[in-house]
A and B are shown apart, each in its own frame.
Chain A
Amino acid sequence: MDNQFSQWEVFIQKKNGAAHEHAGSVHAADKNMALQNARDVYTRRNEGRSIWVVPTDSIVASTIEDEVVFFDPANDKIYRNPNFYKMPKGTTNL
């Protein structure tokens, strides 16, 4: 019976201080293999300085059906935006 190992999602930090961004996935049998495979597959052009790998199974995702319920409620909360507030004329450094 063939196996191709389980799938892992790869996140790469490109520069010091930057966030880890999703790069793609690899197959691997264990953690070390997943890290090394991610390195060999996704950083051959000097794209990385740090790698996270996460078993794909461990990712929980919202679905498109959730979109309206999850995100629409946030689109009328304009008081979270700095431009919502009127400052007296001439105010500086704010």
Chain B
Amino acid sequence: MQKNESSISFLEKQFQEKINNDIKIEPKDWMPEAYRNNLIRQMSQHAHSEIIGMQPEGNWVLRAPTLRAKKILLAKIQDEAGHGLYLYSATETLGIDRKEMIEQLQQGKAKYSSIFNYPTLNWADIGAVGWLVDGAAIVNQTMLARGSYGPYSRAMLRICKEEGFHQRQGYEIMAKMMAGNASQKEMAQDSLNRWWEPSLMMFGPHDSESTHSEQSMKWKIKVESNDNLRQRFINKTVDQAHHIGLTIPDKNLTYNKETRNWEISPINWEEFWNVVKGNGPCNRQRIAHHTKYHNEGQWVREAALVFAKKEMEIQ
């Protein structure tokens, strides 16, 4: 075949046919550069979200109120680290290494989910993070597991399986607090009030505003629209909230019998973009934390490498 324009367009056509026929794309397969870059952007952002997400939860690990709660929270945060790791590995198959991704995160070139730029202020926030944030993530990740890139889809399957307990433990915390004393109930409601809208924003801008959506859908990097996923999440969550006596902090919340959807007030997108741009309550803190401990680990990594080299020489 000639290496000319037509051969590229031929490859692109072949590639799109594979996608249309639900054949997974594997690392060594030909892929358009834009597909590769789009995936690197999305997957590394996903990996960074897992890693940065450890911080707001880690904020309570030393203060967990029971031994059981401490073990659960530790195991959950550990899973986040593991999931970040799986995702970094999957992204590495696209030809970028972890070192570079970490640099991009610390330099602000790569993003992570804005939800983690909000602070965890009381113990119920650990419940809300599990119930709402992981709940939203599961809706999203179940969709991503059907995506076109093999390594990403496989990582998602494994992650979805392991995260089965994350949302349940969060809801359990909320349920226990709603069954508890007055100040526990107050904490739970306060927590929902603060996390509700940010969790809706996790699905990203409306379909009409989303810059990457159309191409991502065509390539099956995403297989459902932001608004569809958000609605599914709202419907599930509203019922769960009511079930334990929580009030959704939205005066306009109404049930539409025809569509069987819970309808909400317009989302405050100004707030969303403001946080994405780096002006959320914890943006700087999260990156400063990551950078600080990354730098503090530098001498350890250096020592391990020097040791490994010496070992190799002995052999």
- The answer to whether A5 touches B29, judged by C-beta atoms less than 8 angstroms apart, is no
Specify the chain B residue showing the minimal Cβ separation from A45.
B162
Specify the chain A residue showing the minimal Cβ separation from B302.
A3
Q: Tally the A-B contacts, defined by beta carbons under 8 Å.
A: 51
Specify the chain A residue showing the minimal Cβ separation from B106.
A2
Interface size class of A (residues with CB under 8 A): 10 to 19
Give residues 59-94 of A contacting B (CB, 8 Å).
61, 63-64
**Assembled-state Cα–Cα distance A7/B27 (Å):** 16
Q: Does A4 contact B (CB under 8 A)?
A: yes
Give residues 17-39 of A contacting B (CB, 8 Å).
24-27, 29-30, 33
Find chain A residues with CB under 8 A from B26 CB: 64
Specify the chain A residue showing the minimal Cβ separation from B304.
A29
Given A29-B305, A44-B82, is A4 in contact with B89 using a C-beta cutoff of 8 Å? no
Give residues 104-137 of B contacting A (CB, 8 Å).
none
- The answer to whether B307 touches A44, judged by C-beta atoms less than 8 angstroms apart, is no
Q: Does B78 contact A (CB under 8 A)?
A: yes
- The answer to whether B30 touches A2, judged by C-beta atoms less than 8 angstroms apart, is no
Q: Does B2 contact A (CB under 8 A)?
A: no
A63 to B: closest C-beta gap in Å? 5
Q: A24 contacts which of B28, B89, B99, B308 (Cβ < 8 Å)?
A: B89
Q: B89 contacts which of A2, A7, A33, A44 (Cβ < 8 Å)?
A: A7
**Assembled-state Cα–Cα distance A45/B163 (Å):** 12
Q: Does B149 contact A (CB under 8 A)?
A: no
Find chain A residues with CB under 8 A from B75 CB: 44
Q: Mark B87-101, 1 if CB is under 8 A from A, else 0.
A: 001001000011100
Main secondary structure of the interface of B (DSSP, over half): helix
**Assembled-state Cα–Cα distance A41/B97 (Å):** 19
**Assembled-state Cα–Cα distance A91/B92 (Å):** 56
**Assembled-state Cα–Cα distance A61/B82 (Å):** 26
Find chain B residues with CB under 8 A from A61 CB: 28
Q: B301 contacts which of A4, A41, A63 (Cβ < 8 Å)?
A: A4
- The answer to whether A44 touches B28, judged by C-beta atoms less than 8 angstroms apart, is no
**Assembled-state Cα–Cα distance A64/B150 (Å):** 13
B31 to A: closest C-beta gap in Å? 10
**Assembled-state Cα–Cα distance A25/B30 (Å):** 23
Q: Mark B25-67, 1 if CB is under 8 A from A, else 0.
A: 0101110000000000000000000000000000000000000
Given A4-B99, A7-B92, A44-B78, is A63 in contact with B302 using a C-beta cutoff of 8 Å? no
**Assembled-state Cα–Cα distance A63/B102 (Å):** 29
Find chain A residues with CB under 8 A from B294 CB: 2
Find chain A residues with CB under 8 A from B305 CB: 3, 5, 29
Best-buried of A2, A25, A26, A44 by chain B (most CB within 10 Å): A2
Specify the chain B residue showing the minimal Cβ separation from A67.
B29
**Assembled-state Cα–Cα distance A29/B102 (Å):** 18
Find chain B residues with CB under 8 A from A26 CB: 85, 89
Find chain B residues with CB under 8 A from A45 CB: 162
- The answer to whether B311 touches A30, judged by C-beta atoms less than 8 angstroms apart, is yes
Q: Interface of B with A (CB < 8 Å)?
A: 26, 28-30, 75, 78, 82, 85-86, 89, 92, 97-99, 102-103, 155, 158, 162, 294, 298, 301-302, 304-305, 307-308, 311
Listed from nearest, the 5 A-B pairs whose CB atoms lie closest are A29-B304, A30-B308, A29-B308, A4-B98, A25-B89
Extra inter-chain contacts (9) besides given A24-B158, A64-B29, CB under 8 Å: A2-B102, A3-B99, A3-B302, A3-B305, A4-B99, A24-B86, A29-B305, A30-B311, A44-B82
